[in-house]
């Protein structure tokens, strides 16, 4: 199921002028954990599924779609999703059952945590919400909901279990505001595409760590990417040029045979 990758270049994050002095120091946290970047949308109403996927993708996440519970479980078995937006009412395997099996059968894929689950439900009874949370959902949203609320819940889940308490990440001279989707280097605003932003976000969440091309593909790109493509190399190289333009020519190192590393 492809939600389409067309128009990537036109999907830029909303840009805001950097505002000086709006970040109190205690809002700045060291990037010690990892954030959620790859999302699986499980929803059998395909129009809704694609609309959600598109909205979430615009917010900078890599997004895949599953239209059935079975499809969702197959996808979760092979890809390390960070968050699963899981519709409760599915035609084959019920959302609660998917959630139960996810927690029962989770395999550690590349050493990352099991996905956080945001349950999407038309059922608004206390019983259903309790059942969802008991079966391992981390949060739930009752339909109908507005996209901005879903995105806010995703950001909250992304921060949970990592030591982030705010959306500001700082590594060296780079300061990223993940909620406002801005990056500043020495007071200068970096103009990044959605993918470049997502890539830098992942680097900044794992500073000093050597990140393989495979791991970057897993967390920054969705399943529609050809694993043999050179897109990682190309995106890293574009990002480097933009960092170089603001005075950081050596921010991202190539570790031959292993991957890339953001210098702390
Ligand atoms: Ca449904």
- Our measurement of the distance from residue 14's CA atom to the centroid of its chain's CA atoms, rounded to an integer in Å, reads 17
Contact 68, 92 (CB under 8 A): yes
Strand 168-171 to strand 174-177: parallel, antiparallel, or no bridges (unpaired)? antiparallel
Question: How far does the centroid of ligand 1 lie from the alpha carbon of residue 87, in Å?
Answer: 6
Question: How far does the centroid of ligand 1 lie from the alpha carbon of residue 45, in Å?
Answer: 6
Residue 149, pLDDT above cutoff 90: yes
Question: How far does the centroid of ligand 1 lie from the alpha carbon of residue 143, in Å?
Answer: 10
Dump strand ranges (E) for the chain: 28-29, 38-42, 62-66, 83-87, 116-121, 139-142, 168-171, 174-177, 182-185, 188-189, 210-211, 252-255, 259-262
Question: How far does the centroid of ligand 1 lie from the alpha carbon of residue 90, in Å?
Answer: 5
Question: How far does the centroid of ligand 1 lie from the alpha carbon of residue 95, in Å?
Answer: 9
Angstrom distance (rounded) from CA 244 to CA 161: 33
User: Average pLDDT of the chain?
Assistant: 79
Q: What is the DSSP letter of 26?
A: G
Question: How far does the centroid of ligand 1 lie from the alpha carbon of residue 179, in Å?
Answer: 29
Contacts of 150 (CB under 8 A, 6+ apart): 52, 55, 56, 85, 118, 141
- Our measurement of the distance from residue 53's CA atom to the centroid of its chain's CA atoms, rounded to an integer in Å, reads 12
251 Rama sector, left if φ>0, alpha if ψ -120 to 50, beta otherwise: alpha
Asked which of 16-30, 160-174, 192-206 is least confident by mean pLDDT, the reply is 16-30
Question: How far does the centroid of ligand 1 lie from the alpha carbon of residue 88, in Å?
Answer: 7
Asked which of 44-58, 115-129, 194-208 is least confident by mean pLDDT, the reply is 115-129
Report, in angstroms and rounded to the nearest whole number, the Rg of the chain calculated over CA atoms.
18
Question: How far does the centroid of ligand 1 lie from the alpha carbon of residue 67, in Å?
Answer: 9
The residues spanned by each domain of the chain are: 10-160, 168-262
Half-sphere exposure of 16 (CA within 13 A, CB side): 12
15 Rama sector, left if φ>0, alpha if ψ -120 to 50, beta otherwise: beta
Question: How far does the centroid of ligand 1 lie from the alpha carbon of residue 72, in Å?
Answer: 13
Question: How far does the centroid of ligand 1 lie from the alpha carbon of residue 68, in Å?
Answer: 9
DSSP three-state, residue 255: strand
Greatest Cα-to-Cα distance within the chain, rounded to the nearest angstrom = 56
Question: How far does the centroid of ligand 1 lie from the alpha carbon of residue 48, in Å?
Answer: 9
Domain 10-160: give its CATH code: 3.40.50.2300
Question: How far does the centroid of ligand 1 lie from the alpha carbon of residue 29, in Å?
Answer: 38
Contacts of 156 (CB under 8 A, 6+ apart): 139
Residue 23, pLDDT above cutoff 60: no
Angstrom distance (rounded) from CA 164 to CA 2: 32
Angstrom distance (rounded) from CA 15 to CA 182: 7
pLDDT, tens digit, 9 for 90 and up, residues 206-234: 889 999 998 899 889 888 887 778 999 99
Of the segments 2-6, 103-107, 152-156, 189-193, which one has the largest average pLDDT value?
189-193
Domain 168-262: give its CATH code: 1.10.10.10
CA distances from 99 to 21, 93, 140 (A): 43, 10, 12
Residues in the chain: 264
Per-residue tokens: 141: 């949203």
Question: How far does the centroid of ligand 1 lie from the alpha carbon of residue 84, in Å?
Answer: 15
The answer to whether domain 10-160 and domain 168-262 are alike in fold is: no
With cut-offs at 50, 70 and 90, classify the pLDDT of residue 18.
very low
DSSP three-state, residue 176: strand
Question: How far does the centroid of ligand 1 lie from the alpha carbon of residue 40, in Å?
Answer: 15
Question: How far does the centroid of ligand 1 lie from the alpha carbon of residue 83, in Å?
Answer: 18
């Amino acid at each position: 199921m492809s939600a389409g990758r067309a128009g990537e270049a036109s999907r830029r994050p909303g840009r805001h002028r950097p505002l000086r002095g709006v970040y109190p120091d205690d809002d700045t946290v060291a990037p010690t954990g990892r954030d959620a970047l790859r999302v699986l949308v499980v929803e059998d109403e395909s129009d809704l599924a694609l609309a959600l996927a598109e909205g979430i993708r615009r917010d900078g996440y890599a997004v895949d779609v599953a239209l059935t519970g079975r499809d969702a479980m197959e996808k979760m078995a092979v890809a390390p999703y960070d968050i699963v937006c899981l519709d409760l009412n599915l035609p084959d395997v019920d959302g609660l059952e998917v959630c139960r099996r996810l927690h029962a059968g989770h395999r550690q894929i590349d050493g990352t945590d099991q996905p956080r689950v945001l349950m999407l439900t038309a059922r608004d009874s206390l019983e259903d919400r309790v059942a969802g949370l008991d079966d391992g959902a981390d949060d739930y949203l009752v339909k109908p909901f507005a996209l901005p609320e879903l995105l806010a819940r995703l950001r909250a889940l992304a921060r949970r279990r990592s030591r982030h308490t705010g959306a500001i990440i700082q590594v060296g001279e780079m300061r990223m505001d993940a909620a406002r989707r801005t990056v500043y280097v020495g007071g200068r605003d970096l103009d990044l595409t959605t993918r470049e932003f997502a890539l830098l976000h992942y680097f900044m969440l794992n500073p000093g760590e050597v990140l393989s091309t495979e791991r970057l593909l897993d967390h920054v790109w969705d399943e529609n990417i050809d694993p043999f493509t050179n897109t990682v190399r190309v995106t890293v190289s574009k990002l480097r040029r933009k960092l170089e333009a603001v005075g950081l020519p050596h921010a991202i190192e190539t570790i031959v045979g292993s991957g890339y590393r953001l210098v702390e």
